Structures are given as C-alpha cells and as structure tokens.
Amino acid sequence: MAPLVWLVTGASAGIGAALVGEIVRRGDKVIAANRQVEQMADRASENVSLLELDLTSGPKLIASKVKEAWGIFGHIDVLVNNAGNFAFAPFEDTSGDVADRLFQTNLFGHLEVTRAILPFFREQGSGCITFTSSSQVWGNMPYTSIYSMAKSAISSFAESLHKEVSSLGIRCVAFEVGGVATRIFEPRQKDQTEGQNTTSGPSEAYAPGMAGVSNAMAQWGAPPGDVVKTAKAMVDVVTGEGKAAGKVWSSRIVLGSDAVAWARLKQQQASLVTDRWEDVSVGTDRDDAVVSDALHPYVLMPGAQ
Ligand SMILES: NC(=O)c1ccc[n+]([C@@H]2O[C@H](COP(=O)([O-])OP(=O)(O)OC[C@H]3O[C@@H](n4cnc5c(N)ncnc54)[C@H](OP(=O)(O)O)[C@@H]3O)[C@@H](O)[C@H]2O)c1
Ligand SMILES: *[C@@H]1O[C@H](CO)[C@@H](O)[C@H](O)[C@H]1NC(C)=O
Ligand SMILES: *[C@@H]1O[C@H](CO)[C@@H](O)[C@H](O)[C@H]1NC(C)=O
C-alpha cells in the first residue's frame, strides 16, 4: 500500500504526539499541526512536516492553512481533528468568554478545518476524517458541561457528516476516548480559565459537589488508557488493520474499557428511561397520526447494519 498522508492537529503532546509517532513508524507521512510549532521543531523529518495551525484563528486563516497543508506532500488522505482543551468547573462559574474559547478549540475549529478539506477530499474521491471525542459523551459528568457539550456535538457531527459524504468516498469517525494520562488535566497558564483557577476555586454553593467528584476521581485512580495503544487503535481503525481488520466502518467508536463501561451503562439506562416514559412520550401524537419508518435508514448508526 502506498504511504498515506495524515494531517494531525494538536500534535505537540499527548494523543496527537503518539499518533505522529505511530504514523511514521508505519511508513506513512504526517503533517503535525499545532498552534506553536517551535516546541516541536526537533520532530520535523523527511516524513514529518510541521504546520502552525491555531484552531482559534478563524475560518479564513484555517482555510489557507489547510490549503498549505495539502501542498506539502501533494495531497492528504486522513485528517485527524485531535486538538482540545479540558475544563473542570461549575457552569455558573464559567464565563461566556471561557466557554466560547473552549468551543472554538474543541468544536468550531474542527468544523472549520473539516469544511476546508472537504472540497479537496471530494475532488480526490477519497478521504478519512477522524475526531478525538471523549467518553464524556456517555458520561455527561457534572462540572464538565462545556467540555461534554463540545464532545457530544463532535460525535454527533461525525455521524451526520459520515452519512452526507460516504457516497463521495469520504469516511468519518469520532473516537470516544476514555481516560488517558496526558497533560490535558493539568491547568496550563496559557489556557488558564476562571473555572480552572485553583486559587479562586468554585463558587461556595458548588464546592461540596465538586469535592465529591474530585474525591471520586482520586478513588478512580490513574486513567486506564495507554496513550500509545490509543494512537495505535485509531490508526488501525483508519487503515483497517490489527483488531479493526474486517470490521464494518462505524462513525462512533469508544476506546478504553472505562469508555466501554460508560457507553453500556448509558445505553441500558437510556433504554430503561425510554420504556418508563413511553406512555407519556407516545401520548403526544395526533389522534390520526400514522407513524412511518421511512426515515429509519437515515437514523441508523453506521456500522450497526
Ligand atoms: N486524555 C484524555 O483522557 C482524553 C480523553 C478523551 C478525549 N481526549 C481528547 O484527546 C485530544 C488530545 O488531548 P490529550 O489528552 O492528548 O491532551 P494534551 O496532551 O493536552 O494535548 C492537547 C493538544 O491540543 C493542542 N491545542 C490546544 N489548544 C489548541 C489550539 N487552540 N489550537 C491548536 N492546538 C491546540 C495542544 O497544543 P499546545 O501544546 O499548544 O497546548 C496539544 O497539542 C483532545 O481533543 C482531548 O479532548 C483526551
Ligand atoms: C520515510 O518514509 C519512507 C516510506 O514512505 C521510508 O522509506 C523512509 O525510510 C522514511 N524516512 C524516515 C526518516 O523515517
Ligand atoms: C485567579 O484567582 C485569583 C484570586 O481570585 C486572582 O487573583 C487571579 O487573577 C486569577 N487568575 C486568573 C488567570 O484568572
């Protein structure tokens, strides 16, 4: 197989850096993108090209960066929308500005990169787009509302977009990753938000609730995910190798046994709640309603056929 060309955002650290390593190890080529490329200068090589790309820089600049990226190796096969930031804070303590910034990095920036690459992928007749989502889409834990919202949106997007572009040769997948020990949970000066400001702490009313979650997290212990194995699994899914060989493409894949447990729990509970409320739920139909399943093919989850 000819080497693939990958564009990975958020490539300076954590899962993104592990992806770059794994991609090169397999003999592929990668454009490693980050908002400050100086910190990755030592990682450039024959098969690793660096690209400065800040997901908060707006649609125009992002589109020109994607065009530039396309020119580096002459084309791109796989776009990995991976960059992201975390926030642990009560919603009420999170200002609109802070929420906007998090949405820009975790959601809107990825939409811009994706929008910019789609015409290239369509013209090429092939392409793969991945998103690094989170097990939070199944967890919806408190004090992570903004983060969970952005990740839920990106998982939802991957599924709808896949249905729009799969007939054009383009595949999409959101990886709903469980806990992996990276520096994402460490408050960083440049992304310091009121919510993460440990000196000010949460509003008094939320302090006991947050302490409860913090204690549970301490009890939970080290996140079970291995960063290298996570990156390997993502690459395997895209290339159809390893344990992913022979599987039907799915647009949402959980990674990590903690993520599997949360997904199962949520699915069981959603089913239970749907059953419990069914009489109320179906009671809102018009008296003469005829319920059709004509839309079901569009509602179905890719990979479940
Ligand atoms: N670790 C987990 O447990 C976990 C679980 C589920 C999902 N995820 C997701 O995995 C992805 C990677 O996170 P990680 O755990 O590997 O964390 P990480 O080590 O903190 O890496 C995050 C990456 O995103 C980059 N980034 C942040 N803001 C950016 C911006 N505005 N523009 C461009 N790049 C930006 C960072 O660059 P800088 O070097 O400039 O900061 C860094 O390269 C994220 O989307 C995260 O939400 C992580
Ligand atoms: C770059 O990739 C090619 C295959 O595409 C490989 O032959 C070469 O050894 C790689 N170079 C480095 C420095 O890894
Ligand atoms: C964090 O909170 C402290 C105390 O309220 C304040 O002095 C400081 O400016 C805050 N830092 C940031 C980055 O918001």
How long a stretch of residues is the chain? Answer: 305
What is the Å distance from ligand 2's center to 192 Cα? 39
Nearest protein CA to atom 47 of ligand 1, as residue: 84
Pick from 94, 288, 259: nearest CA to 193: 94
Look over the chain and give the mean of its residue pLDDT values, rounded to a whole number: 94
Q: Return the pLDDT at 213.
A: 94
Q: To test the ligand 1 pocket, which listed residue (7, 9, 15, 226) has its Cβ within 8 A of the most ligand atoms? A: 15
pLDDT in tens, 236-291: 999 999 999 999 999 999 999 999 999 999 999 999 999 999 999 999 999 999 99
The tens digit of pLDDT for each residue in 141-186 reads 999 999 999 999 999 999 999 999 999 999 999 999 999 999 887 7
Atom of ligand 1 nearest to the CA of 106: 45
**Nearest alpha-carbon partner for 130 in 234, 255, 53, 239:** 234
Q: Could you report the per-residue pLDDT of 65-106, keeping only the tens digit for each?
A: 999 999 999 999 999 999 999 988 899 988 888 899 999 999
Can you read off the two tokens belonging to residue 183? Answer: 């520096």
Give 12-63 pLDDT, tens digit per residue: 999 999 999 999 999 999 999 999 999 899 999 999 999 999 999 999 999 9
CA of 192 to the centre of ligand 3 (A): 9
Catalytic positions, written as ranges: 133, 147, 151
For residue 227, report the distance from its CA to the centre of ligand 2, in Å: 23
Which protein residue has the closest C-alpha to ligand 2 atom 9? 27
Q: Which pLDDT value is given to residue 188?
A: 58
Residue owning the nearest CA to atom 13 of ligand 2: 46
Task: Give the residue with greater pLDDT, 94 vs 124.
Answer: 124
pLDDT at 305: 80
Res 191: pLDDT: 56
CA–CA distance, 171 with 191 (Å, rounded to integer): 32
Q: Which ligand is nearest to the CA of 184?
A: 1
CB 113 within 8 A of CB 62: yes
Exposed/middle/buried for 111, CB within 10 Å: 0-12, 13-18, 19+? middle
Which ligand sits nearest to residue 154's alpha carbon? 1
Q: Is the pTM of this model over 0.85?
A: yes
Residue 187's pLDDT is 63
Q: Which atom of ligand 3 is nearest to the CA of 192?
A: 13
Tokens for 80, please give them. Answer: 């990995």
Q: Which two tokens stand for residue 275?
A: 């059953």
pLDDT in tens, 111-120: 999 999 999 9
Q: Which atom of ligand 1 is nearest to the CA of 36?
A: 40
Cα 199 to middle of ligand 3, angstroms: 6
In this prediction, residue 95 carries a pLDDT of 87
- The reported pLDDT for the residue numbered 194 is 42
Instruction: Quote the pLDDT of residue 190.
Output: 53
The predicted-structure confidence for 181-234, as pLDDT tens digits, reads as follows: 998 877 655 555 544 554 455 688 999 999 999 999 999 999 999 999 999 999
Residue 113 neighbours by CB distance under 10 Å? 26
Token pair recorded at residue 56: 């908060």
**Is the CB of residue 197 below 6 angstroms from any atom belonging to ligand 3?**
yes
Q: DSSP states of the chain as a string? A: -PPPEEEEESTTSHHHHHHHHHHHHTT-EEEEEES--GGGGGG-BTTEEEEE--TTS-HHHHHHHHHHHHHHHS--SEEEE-------S-GGGS-HHHHHHHHIIIIIHHHHHHHHHHHHHHHHT-EEEEEEEETHHHH--TT-HHHHHHHHHHHHHHHHHHHHHGGGTEEEEEEEE--B-SGGGS--GGG--GGG-TTT-S-GGGHHHHHHHHHHHHHH-S--B-HHHHHHHHHHHHHT-GGGTTPPP-SEEEESHHHHHHHHHHHHHHHHHHHHTHHHHHTTS-TT-----TTHHHHSPTT--
Report which protein residue has its CA nearest ligand 2's atom 1: 47
Ligand nearest to the CA of 73: 2
1 pocket-lining for ligand 2 (C-beta < 6 Å): no
